[in-house]
A and B are shown apart, each in its own frame.
Chain A
């Protein structure tokens, strides 16, 4: 009896398996123009990731310059220019969320630029009392630096209302300069870590590793979709606490999420990866295309400044729709992983 169940189980397992192998074999045998995994990875590194990193380096330099002008001549026009520069750099950074693997995590660049929530207590103390210099800046924790530290000062996290240029204290202006310098340094460090023949980009696209690298790309997209659903939106929806919303001070949560999802589309569309998936399973490729596009639409449909709308039923519905979309899309993308490895 035990033996019988043993091989009947084997047959039960084996039959559908060999059938499905045969079927997928037929589907896989079409299309000739799909790019190779190697080409996909190469394009990803050279045409998506590295240009994004170069842009971030330029935009954080522009933020530095704007903050320098603001601190030399604190006019509202200069304050506005600094905020615009922050938003531009922020968008580029958030676009990169789908490829935040590698040195961004293992060398700590992500934490240094984008740790969150803001260490309000230390920031208030540091900016309120003594003059901040490079030593005391260095002693601050990561949560008192980076994008969100700068955001907190530019958008009035301390008082709850965006300041005028005249209301910025000398301490705050000094802090902004140091924090923008640091942000730029981190952006440059991240760029360097991917560059050159020994860099992470070269290692990722080294011959013989393409299958693993493509999996890595897909996993990056999946991780972003899950984090967007579980943490960025799921937490605030559950707790109704605006403090759990990233980029709430600038009211930029919606733009962050939109950039996240657009970045995922870049990984799929600008590299040939989606073509590669289509060549293995045309229907799945089509679904991934449609559903990621829909995620972009739903992110666009979120209200600006979600933080003011956490109790509004329509906004909550919009958040929930996007969460479901992100989770559903993650599941679809997960299905493509075995096809392209």
Chain B
């Protein structure tokens, strides 16, 4: 009688042990720290061309409804209104809706109507009568700041944009006098999470004087607020906006000519901001255990891409979070939200809020593999110059020079692993 009992106990113990091992393994794959769940509990499983337009997972029904109401505003095309000149859209503007540039919440093409041009005098001052952004469209009866055309200059298999500005001849907009920076609309992913990363966690990655001597510094973009307060910049290709609401307000005003409170009430500003705060990011195509992911990710580390494209960040906990699910998430954006000197190749000579022409915020890489599906022919980097991921990497210079050089010496098979990994993000 005793024997079968002991046998049973053994089987049970073995089953228990197996379950523990399995459970731990599955926890690693399924748990909070699974890189396949790029946006943690806000991860979107849809990987169709509509992926970036999905509300984040994990919203409550009420939050989801609010997101849907905000979506209507984000999609809304604005028109000039009767009444005072400048009521509604314009008088000068770049595009008539948020989605016109953030096409399907993805990237805009480097064409006017989906992108914009920032300018500065060669000494960094704003351009007289034009300011810092060229509004190349106008409502009937008004004049755009300038007409913009984008041409491409091809060298050694890479291309760079040449932005031409045409305006009233009394304005000197020559290349010699005015630097110009073409900007495509970046994809809108996991922004609520990026906004909720505690400042201290971002500063941990900063190394402005390169104390560790790895050639990579990383500088927080401190923005001077009126009154001398400093806020950390997070959004835009140069991290010139400290919050999504600042970014949204700037878009309404500068890109569409909508003034507040005249054209946009505060309630609407807060609501349309909510839209970007409650977007998710797509689940990666392959699980962490797949060979492409393991090998690609390993190369990403050894090449030191991950020094800037920091794989994992975490949000804090705040009672002020606009959606509960934003709190306490570990997620995988592949950015440090810091500015880096990217070298002369990417220097377009336009400084913004103290960030010189060569400095750019590390671009988040999540969703990269869906770029083509969402937007068709896409360009990477701030001005859409890179026609492929490979080209984007080849433009890396400055602090990223060593990383680029290591990339170019990869064996073909390794290169395929790295790019294969990026393509499934």
* Chains A and B come from one and the same complex: yes
Chain A interface residues toward B at CB < 8 A: 3, 6-7, 9-11, 13-14, 101-103, 105-108, 111, 115-122, 125-126, 139-143, 200, 212, 215-216, 219, 222-223, 230-231, 234-235, 337
Structural contact, B19 and A11, CB atoms closer than 8 A: yes
Contact with A along B368-407 (1 / 0, CB 8 A): 0000010111000000000000000000000000000000
Structural contact, B26 and A107, CB atoms closer than 8 A: no
Q: Cβ of B167 < 8 Å from any Cβ of A?
A: no
The interface centre, meaning the residue of A6, A118, A215, A222 with most chain B CB atoms within 10 A of its CB, is A6
Structural contact, B96 and A230, CB atoms closer than 8 A: no
What are 25 pairs between A and B in contact, CB < 8 Å?
A3-B20, A6-B20, A6-B27, A10-B22, A11-B23, A106-B104, A115-B77, A116-B77, A119-B79, A121-B140, A122-B80, A125-B140, A125-B141, A141-B79, A141-B96, A143-B77, A143-B96, A200-B376, A212-B373, A215-B47, A215-B48, A216-B48, A219-B46, A230-B71, A235-B72
CA distance A115 to B77 in the complex (A): 8
Contact with A along B307-332 (1 / 0, CB 8 A): 00000000000000000000000000
Closest Cβ–Cβ distance, residue B73 to chain A (whole Å): 10
Structural contact, B139 and A121, CB atoms closer than 8 A: yes
Closest Cβ–Cβ distance, residue B112 to chain A (whole Å): 12
Structural contact, A106 and B79, CB atoms closer than 8 A: no
Question: If the complex has contacts A105-B103, A121-B81, A230-B68, are A7 and B23 also in contact, measured as CB distance less than 8 A?
Answer: yes
CA distance A120 to B141 in the complex (A): 14
How large, as a class, is the contact surface on chain B? 35 or more
Structural contact, A106 and B103, CB atoms closer than 8 A: yes
CA distance A223 to B30 in the complex (A): 29
Q: Cβ of B137 < 8 Å from any Cβ of A?
A: yes
CA distance A101 to B109 in the complex (A): 16
Q: Cβ of B298 < 8 Å from any Cβ of A?
A: no
CA distance A98 to B24 in the complex (A): 44
Closest residue of A by beta carbon distance from B80: A121
Contacting residues, chain B, for A107 (C-beta < 8 A): 376
Closest residue of A by beta carbon distance from B46: A219
Closest Cβ–Cβ distance, residue B145 to chain A (whole Å): 15
Interface residues in B260-309 (C-beta closer than 8 Å to A): none
Q: Cβ of B207 < 8 Å from any Cβ of A?
A: no
Closest Cβ–Cβ distance, residue A131 to chain B (whole Å): 14
CA distance A267 to B71 in the complex (A): 25
Contacting residues, chain A, for B140 (C-beta < 8 A): 121-122, 125-126, 139-140
CA distance A101 to B75 in the complex (A): 15
Contacting residues, chain B, for A6 (C-beta < 8 A): 20, 23-24, 27
Closest Cβ–Cβ distance, residue A271 to chain B (whole Å): 17
Q: Cβ of B82 < 8 Å from any Cβ of A?
A: yes
Closest Cβ–Cβ distance, residue B74 to chain A (whole Å): 11
Closest Cβ–Cβ distance, residue A117 to chain B (whole Å): 6
CA distance A157 to B20 in the complex (A): 71
Structural contact, B100 and A103, CB atoms closer than 8 A: no
Contacting residues, chain A, for B109 (C-beta < 8 A): 106
Structural contact, A223 and B50, CB atoms closer than 8 A: yes
7 closest Cβ contacts across the A-B interface? A7-B23, A106-B376, A10-B23, A122-B140, A219-B48, A119-B79, A7-B19
CA distance A234 to B140 in the complex (A): 31
Q: Of B22, B68, B82, B88, which one neighbours A7 at CB under 8 angstroms? A: B22
Closest residue of A by beta carbon distance from B75: A231
Additional 7 contacts, C-beta under 8 A, given A3-B23, A116-B77 = A105-B104, A106-B377, A119-B79, A126-B140, A223-B50, A230-B68, A234-B72
Q: Of A102, A141, A215, A231, which one neighbours B72 at CB under 8 angstroms? A: A231
Structural contact, B79 and A117, CB atoms closer than 8 A: yes
Closest Cβ–Cβ distance, residue B14 to chain A (whole Å): 14
Structural contact, A101 and B49, CB atoms closer than 8 A: yes
Chain B interface residues toward A at CB < 8 A: 19-20, 22-24, 26-27, 30, 46-50, 53, 68, 71-72, 75, 77, 79-82, 88-89, 96, 100, 103-104, 109, 113, 137, 139-141, 373, 375-377
Contacting residues, chain B, for A222 (C-beta < 8 A): 50
CA distance A7 to B18 in the complex (A): 10
CA distance A23 to B96 in the complex (A): 51
Question: If the complex has contacts A6-B23, A122-B139, A230-B72, are A106 and B375 also in contact, measured as CB distance less than 8 A?
Answer: yes
Q: Of A10, A111, A120, A223, which one neighbours B26 at CB under 8 angstroms? A: A10
Contacting residues, chain B, for A337 (C-beta < 8 A): 46
Contacting residues, chain A, for B24 (C-beta < 8 A): 3, 6-7
Closest residue of B by beta carbon distance from A121: B80
Closest residue of B by beta carbon distance from A125: B140
Contacting residues, chain A, for B48 (C-beta < 8 A): 212, 215-216, 219
Closest residue of A by beta carbon distance from B139: A122
Closest Cβ–Cβ distance, residue B352 to chain A (whole Å): 28
CA distance A235 to B103 in the complex (A): 22
Contacting residues, chain B, for A120 (C-beta < 8 A): 79, 82
CA distance A10 to B96 in the complex (A): 50
The interface centre, meaning the residue of A118, A126, A231 with most chain B CB atoms within 10 A of its CB, is A231
Structural contact, A102 and B79, CB atoms closer than 8 A: no
The interface centre, meaning the residue of A121, A222, A235 with most chain B CB atoms within 10 A of its CB, is A121
Question: If the complex has contacts A102-B376, A105-B104, A125-B140, are A118 and B79 also in contact, measured as CB distance less than 8 A?
Answer: yes
Contacting residues, chain B, for A103 (C-beta < 8 A): 376
The interface centre, meaning the residue of B77, B96, B104, B113 with most chain A CB atoms within 10 A of its CB, is B77
Q: Of A11, A13, A216, which one neighbours B49 at CB under 8 angstroms? A: A216
CA distance A337 to B30 in the complex (A): 22
Question: If the complex has contacts A117-B77, A122-B80, are A102 and B23 also in contact, measured as CB distance less than 8 A?
Answer: no
Question: If the complex has contacts A219-B48, A231-B72, are A111 and B80 also in contact, measured as CB distance less than 8 A?
Answer: no
Structural contact, B27 and A10, CB atoms closer than 8 A: yes
Closest residue of B by beta carbon distance from A217: B48
Closest Cβ–Cβ distance, residue B341 to chain A (whole Å): 33
Closest residue of B by beta carbon distance from A337: B46
CA distance A230 to B75 in the complex (A): 12
